[in-house]
Chains A and B, each alone.
Chain A
């Protein structure tokens, strides 16, 4: 019988509550349940951080736009 440590079991219970495991595979290789779960977690974080970066970039580009001499903004 396999023994997993307490932290592993706590992690399992917590994460199982967040995600229901997929049994279906995509394509011809098996992603595996463990890789599926961790990918969702990582993708959530990095996706959020990337969204923030994109948002921040947009804000900065708007703020750095110089008004045209006639006082109108670039239409783009």
Chain B
């Protein structure tokens, strides 16, 4: 069997088909066993309806030699997603929208005599700013049986949403540990008592967890129970109402009001924006990653130029505010994500190959690293060569801001600790970064002590 094509390491669970790459293009093989379901997806009009509503990724059928001809029925060429992101990188609002999109797809599928056979959060990606189902093979003919993906939906969506909404933003990262969804039993134990008083949460989470515990090892003769269509619809509605009612209380965090508390004067801030805009216009990058993007003010300088931009920040509230703005303004080119650059997303899953690390998803054409350097170098004790080394792996061009020690923000970082950073100087910064990047432009931000640099990666691997 296969040839020059490469099966994606994440595509092995579902016998209905698999994704593969050939000559740098992404394809999906539909297997013969899935034939009747695939045909119904198209003939029922469900595919057309969902793609028109922007809920399902579109594809075209192509005439290509299949990588596994014995099992093949069709080869599809899906629309490529600009940047693959994962549920543990999403803020609350993104996960909630992904959950609601999944339920909306399920309701639409019912009308066409179909149902989702899985409800994995990994099957959702953000395309043009909206959650989209990217697994075309997720549908099956509707049978009047309990929804097979019910537990998966609860574990992938409801549990992490509840934990973040009622306990702490940081619990969203549990999805990174439990990639098959946050266990119901753990969620039930962690949730506050008041969640037991809400019927939808009491049933979908607490009783669900209890039922799993009680029946986990019970083996009783099978008798398939039918379920009425109205009950299936009611179940979906009940989940939808439970998800819809979840709200994230916005608390003030270290970073969420960063721009309000910065030491830039309004004029200095505008000058900095103008310099970044000039750099972007000079580079004309195809993709931009804004590292330490906060609420995305500078990311938007790129995304509003039509450049697909990913805005990373460690602060879940800043990312939430950024995402809300994206939704309010229907922004298509900006994807805010939660990312701790000092511990970026690792490769996860089977053989560490199912879910990609951050580095595997790069390099970006250009990286913005504005007001970031001092946090990495001083708050995290990262030497300049290590920072330059990391940035050299993630971008071809770099816009970076140097903030000298005399700057009040750096002084704030040093206020409670010993200054062990003798090498934190402009000269050393330029020397160390010059080993990885060629410095193309140096522009001081007038009215401040800060300096913006435009650099080009020296490595051919990143170009």
Residues of A within 8 A of B (CB): 4, 8-9, 11-12, 15-16, 19-29, 31-51, 54
In angstroms, Cα B220 to Cα A20, docked, is 6
Closest CB in chain B relative to A50 CB, distance in Å: 4
Query: What would 20 A/B residue contacts be, using CB atoms closer than 8 Å?
Result: A8-B210, A12-B214, A12-B215, A12-B218, A23-B221, A29-B13, A29-B149, A33-B216, A34-B213, A35-B208, A37-B211, A37-B215, A39-B147, A39-B235, A42-B235, A45-B234, A46-B238, A47-B235, A50-B233, A50-B234
- Which single member of A9, A34, A54 contacts B230 (CB below 8 Å)? A54
Interface size grouping (class) on chain B: 35 or more
User: Per-residue 0/1 for B208-247: is the Cβ within 8 Å of any A Cβ (1 yes, 0 no)?
Assistant: 1011111110111111110110111111011000000000
When distances are taken between beta carbons in the complex, the residues of chain B under 8 Å from A45 are: 234
When distances are taken between beta carbons in the complex, the residues of chain B under 8 Å from A12 are: 214-215, 218
- Which single member of A20, A35, A48 contacts B212 (CB below 8 Å)? A35
Asked if B203 is at the interface of the complex by the 8 Å CB criterion, the answer is yes
Closest CB in chain A relative to B425 CB, distance in Å: 56
Is there contact, CB below 8 Å, between A27 and B117? yes
Is there contact, CB below 8 Å, between B233 and A23? no
- Which single member of A20, A29, A34, A44 contacts B211 (CB below 8 Å)? A34
Is there contact, CB below 8 Å, between A11 and B14? no
Quick one: closest A residue to B203, CB to CB? Answer: A42
Is there contact, CB below 8 Å, between B224 and A24? yes
When distances are taken between beta carbons in the complex, the residues of chain B under 8 Å from A40 are: 146, 225, 227
Closest CB in chain A relative to B299 CB, distance in Å: 37
Interface of A is mostly: helix
Closest CB in chain A relative to B131 CB, distance in Å: 21
When distances are taken between beta carbons in the complex, the residues of chain A under 8 Å from B152 are: 29
In angstroms, Cα B16 to Cα A27, docked, is 9
**With known contacts A35-B150, A39-B147, A40-B146, A20–B234 Cβ distance under 8 A:** no
Closest CB in chain B relative to A64 CB, distance in Å: 23
> Counting chain B CB atoms within 10 Å of each CB, which of A11, A23, A25, A39 scores highest?
A39
> Counting chain A CB atoms within 10 Å of each CB, which of B16, B214, B227, B233 scores highest?
B214
In angstroms, Cα B221 to Cα A20, docked, is 7
**With known contacts A33-B216, A43-B227, A22–B147 Cβ distance under 8 A:** no
Closest CB in chain B relative to A53 CB, distance in Å: 9
Is there contact, CB below 8 Å, between B218 and A16? yes
Top 5 closest A-B pairs, CB basis? A47-B231, A34-B212, A46-B234, A35-B151, A43-B231
Asked if B407 is at the interface of the complex by the 8 Å CB criterion, the answer is no
**With known contacts A8-B210, A11-B210, A21–B203 Cβ distance under 8 A:** no
In angstroms, Cα B214 to Cα A18, docked, is 14
> Counting chain B CB atoms within 10 Å of each CB, which of A19, A40, A43, A50 scores highest?
A43
Closest CB in chain A relative to B190 CB, distance in Å: 19
Asked if B304 is at the interface of the complex by the 8 Å CB criterion, the answer is no
In angstroms, Cα B63 to Cα A73, docked, is 58
In angstroms, Cα B203 to Cα A44, docked, is 12
Closest CB in chain B relative to A51 CB, distance in Å: 5
Quick one: closest A residue to B233, CB to CB? Answer: A50
- Which single member of B118, B148, B151, B218 contacts A21 (CB below 8 Å)? B218
Asked if B145 is at the interface of the complex by the 8 Å CB criterion, the answer is yes
When distances are taken between beta carbons in the complex, the residues of chain A under 8 Å from B203 are: 38, 41-42
Quick one: closest B residue to A31, CB to CB? Answer: B148
B residues 89-143 touching A (CB-CB < 8 Å):
117-118, 140, 143
Is there contact, CB below 8 Å, between B151 and A43? no
Is there contact, CB below 8 Å, between B14 and A34? no
When distances are taken between beta carbons in the complex, the residues of chain B under 8 Å from A39 are: 146-147, 150, 235
> Counting chain B CB atoms within 10 Å of each CB, which of A4, A29, A44 scores highest?
A29
Closest CB in chain B relative to A30 CB, distance in Å: 8
Quick one: closest B residue to A19, CB to CB? Answer: B225
Is there contact, CB below 8 Å, between B147 and A11? no
Given contacts A28-B16, A47-B233, A51-B230, 15 further A-B contacts (CB under 8 A): A19-B225, A20-B222, A21-B219, A23-B222, A24-B224, A25-B148, A27-B148, A27-B149, A28-B14, A34-B214, A35-B154, A44-B231, A46-B238, A47-B231, A49-B234
When distances are taken between beta carbons in the complex, the residues of chain A under 8 Å from B222 are: 20-24
In angstroms, Cα B215 to Cα A28, docked, is 20
In angstroms, Cα B117 to Cα A27, docked, is 6
When distances are taken between beta carbons in the complex, the residues of chain A under 8 Å from B221 are: 20, 23
Quick one: closest B residue to A11, CB to CB? Answer: B214
Quick one: closest A residue to B236, CB to CB? Answer: A46
Asked if B204 is at the interface of the complex by the 8 Å CB criterion, the answer is yes
**With known contacts A8-B214, A27-B140, A42–B238 Cβ distance under 8 A:** yes
- Which single member of B15, B148, B225, B228 contacts A47 (CB below 8 Å)? B228
Is there contact, CB below 8 Å, between A8 and B220? no
Closest CB in chain A relative to B147 CB, distance in Å: 7
Is there contact, CB below 8 Å, between A43 and B215? no
Quick one: closest B residue to A10, CB to CB? Answer: B214
